[in-house]
Structure 1
C-alpha cells in the first residue's frame, strides 16, 4: 500500500465543498464530491508529509510554484474554497511564521525587503498594471470602470479626503511610481514630496517630474520615512506601504507620522487589514513580501490613540481590491507572451498564484483593506459632513 497516497486521500476528503478530481503521480485518478469535477489537481510527485504537517501553506505553495502540483481550472476558485473552509491549512499558522513576525525591519532590512518585490523591473509591472502604474487597490465608482479609470478615481478619492489647500506641503510615504504626488501638485497646487525605497520607482518618478516640468512642486527621494528630519507636513498619506512596516514597527510608524505632521494636520492611511491576527501567509512571506505584516483594524486604532492622533473616518474597500486583482490577473495572463521572453515558468506560476490567491483572500473576507483619516490633535476646521468628498462626484 502506498502510504503517501493514503495520507493524501485522507487530506483531500474534506478539503473542498465543490466536486473535484485528483490525479496522482502514478496515474490513478480519484473523484471527490458529487457531480462533475469543477477542477482537477494533478500531483506530479508526493510532497513529504513532514512539510505538509509543518507548514501546509508553504508546502503546497512551493509545490505549485515549481510544478509538482498543477491545477486544471481556476486557481483562484481553488484557493477561495480553501479560505471558505475554516478547517483548511490556510487558516493555520506554523510556529516558524509566528517567530518570523517579530524579526525587526530596521533601515537596511526594510530597504532589502522593498527592493526584493518592487525592483523586479518597471517593464514587468507596466505589462499588467494600468496606465498610471498604480500598484494598490483601485476605486470603482461604477462596476464597468476600466482599471485606469478606477485608479484615477482612487487618487481623486484620497486627495478629496485630505481636503488639500493650495500651497500646503504633502508627504507620500511609499509613493510608488508617483501618480498621487503628481496629481496632487497639478490639481491642487500643493508641494509634494514622495519617498520610496525602490530605485526603480524613484527613477520612474523623476522621469515623470522631468517630463511634466513639475520641479517646483514635486520632489522624490530614495529614503526611509524614519530618516526624515527637521521637516513638517500639512498632509501625510500612505497607500499600501504599512504592510511592509512589520509588527514590531507599527508604533514607530505612527510616532513618525505624529512627529512630521503639523498641529491639526491630516493623514490618510490606506492599508490591507486582517481579522485574526495571523499577520501574513508563510508562502507570501517567503516569495512575495518578505518582512510583511497585515495588522488588524483594532491594532491601528490603538496606535492612533497612543500617539494623540484623532480618528475621523474609516472606509472598507475590500470588494474594490477583489476587482482590482481580477484586472491584474487578467492583464498578467494576456502579457504572458512578453513575460516569457525573460521570465521562466517558475516565476510565472509564482505570480499567477500570488495574484489569484490575493483575489480569493479579499473576496472570501479573509483580509480587507481600509482607509483611515486622522489628525494630529483635534482639528475643528474640517467640514462637518462627508459632502466635501462626494459633492463633485458624478
Structure 2
C-alpha cells in the first residue's frame, strides 16, 4: 500500500465525531466511523505529510482553497464534526501561531491588517451583507426573522443597553459602515463619532451621513482609537473590533476607553470570545484576519478591573452568530455569479470555507459572542432592572 495512503488512513481513523467516507486520489473509497456517512471527502492528490504535521489547519485550509480537496455534503458539517471531536487537529495550536498572538499590532500594523480584510471593496460586501451593511452578529427575536431586521434589532439592543440620552456624546470604535452612529443620531439625537481604519468604510459612512443630512450630529474619521486625544464621551461602543487588537494590546484598549469616558460613563463591548485560546486559527490568521486574537471573557474582565471599570451585564449571543453566518453563507452562494466576475475560484473557496467554518465554530461552542456592559466608576443613575432594555 502507498505510504501516503497509510498515513492518511491513520489520520482519518479518529479525526471526525461523525462517520464519513474518504475517496483517495486513486479512486479507492473507505468509510471511517460506524453508521451512515454524513459527508464524503475527496482527496484529488496527496497533501505533503510535512505540511500536515507542521500545521494541519493551514494545510487542509489551503488544500481546499486550491481544489486539492472536494467535499460532498457541507463544509460546515465537516468542520463541525472536527470541532465536536476534541482530539482533532483543530484543538492543537501550532507553535508559530502561539507566537503570533504576541506580535505587536501598532497603529501602522493595525491599519494594514484592517485594510487587508475590509477594503476588499464595498461592492463585494454589498453582494451578501444585508441592506444595513452590518458585518457583525445580528440579534434575532425569532429564528425566522430576516437578517436585515435582526441587524436593526442588534443596533437597538445595544443603544438601549447604553441608556442613551439626547445630546450625549457617543464614540463608536470600529464603526464599520456607520449603521450604529446613524441610528443613534436619528432616534436619540446623540452626537456620535465613528472611527475606522478602513478607507472603504470611511468613504461609505461619510456618504451616508451626507445623505441623511446628519453632519450636525454625526462625524466619521479615519483614525485609530489610540490617536484620539483631548476628548471625552458619555458613551463608548465597540462592535467586533477588539478581536483585531491583539493579545498584548488588550490592556491598551481598556486604558484608552477609561481615559475617553467621562466619570460614570457607560461602554459596551461586543466581541467574539474564546475558550482556552481555542478560537485562534492559523488559517484564519493567514488568509482572513491577520493579527487577530480571540480573547477569553476572563481576560476582558481582568483588564476592566485593572482600570477601575465596573461590569454591569454580560450576555452571550452565540446562537445568534450561528444564524447570522448561515444567512451570510447562503447570501454568498446566491451572489456567486456576480462575485466570480471579479474574483477567482481560490478567493471564492476561501470565503466559502471562512463563512461555513465560522458557523460551525459557533454552533459547536468552540467560540462564543459576548456583549459586556461596563461603567467608568460606579454609576448609580441607571434603572434598577433590565426593563429599560427590553420594554
| TM value normalised by structure 1 | 0.98
Q: Deviations over 1:113-170 (max 9, x none)?
A: 0000000000000011011000000000112110000000000000000000000000
1:110 and 1:305 mapped to 2: Cα distance? 25
Taking the TM superposition and a 5 Å limit, the aligned residue runs for 1:306-345 are 306-345=306-345
1:69 maps to 69
1:346 maps to 346
The answer to whether the 8 A contact 2:254-2:307 is kept is: yes
1:217 and 1:17 mapped to 2: Cα distance? 53
1:149 and 2:149 aligned: yes
Taking the TM superposition and a 5 Å limit, the aligned residue runs for 1:76-115 are 76-115=76-115
Q: CA deviation at 1:278?
A: 4.0
Query: 3-state DSSP class of the match of 1:71?
Result: strand
1:365 and 1:323 mapped to 2: Cα distance? 14
Q: Deviations over 1:178-201 (max 9, x none)?
A: 000000000000100000000000
Query: 3-state DSSP class of the match of 2:273?
Result: strand
1:250 and 1:14 mapped to 2: Cα distance? 37
Unaligned runs of 5+ in 2: none
1:119 maps to 119
Q: Deviations over 1:44-94 (max 9, x none)?
A: 111111111111011101111111111111100000000000000000000
Q: CA deviation at 1:8?
A: 0.1
The answer to whether the 8 A contact 2:278-2:366 is kept is: no
Q: Deviations over 1:203-236 (max 9, x none)?
A: 0001101111000000000000000000000000
Q: CA deviation at 1:35?
A: 3.9
The answer to whether the 8 A contact 2:278-2:367 is kept is: no
1:136 maps to 136
Taking the TM superposition and a 5 Å limit, the aligned residue runs for 1:213-232 are 213-232=213-232
2:19 and 2:50 mapped to 1: Cα distance? 27
2:28 and 2:266 mapped to 1: Cα distance? 61
1:112 and 1:141 mapped to 2: Cα distance? 36
Query: 3-state DSSP class of the match of 2:360?
Result: helix
2:313 and 2:20 mapped to 1: Cα distance? 44
1:327 and 1:33 mapped to 2: Cα distance? 31
Taking the TM superposition and a 5 Å limit, the aligned residue runs for 1:190-209 are 190-209=190-209
Q: CA deviation at 1:18?
A: 2.4
1:243 and 1:178 mapped to 2: Cα distance? 19
Question: How many residues are treated as equivalent by the alignment?
Answer: 391
Taking the TM superposition and a 5 Å limit, the aligned residue runs for 1:221-260 are 221-260=221-260
| TM value normalised by structure 2 | 0.99
2:279 and 2:315 mapped to 1: Cα distance? 20
2:367 and 2:293 mapped to 1: Cα distance? 12
1:94 and 1:19 mapped to 2: Cα distance? 26
Query: 3-state DSSP class of the match of 2:30?
Result: strand
Query: 3-state DSSP class of the match of 2:57?
Result: helix
The answer to whether the 8 A contact 2:279-2:366 is kept is: no
Q: Deviations over 1:327-374 (max 9, x none)?
A: 000000000011111111100000000000000000000000000000
Query: 3-state DSSP class of the match of 1:153?
Result: helix
The answer to whether the 8 A contact 2:17-2:82 is kept is: no
1:270 and 1:83 mapped to 2: Cα distance? 24
2:385 and 2:261 mapped to 1: Cα distance? 23
Structure 1 vs Structure 2 CA RMSD: 0.8
1:351 and 1:143 mapped to 2: Cα distance? 24
Q: Deviations over 1:92-115 (max 9, x none)?
A: 000000011110000100000000
Query: 3-state DSSP class of the match of 2:163?
Result: coil
Q: Deviations over 1:235-262 (max 9, x none)?
A: 0000000000000000000000000000
1:35 and 1:318 mapped to 2: Cα distance? 30
The answer to whether the 8 A contact 1:101-1:279 is kept is: no
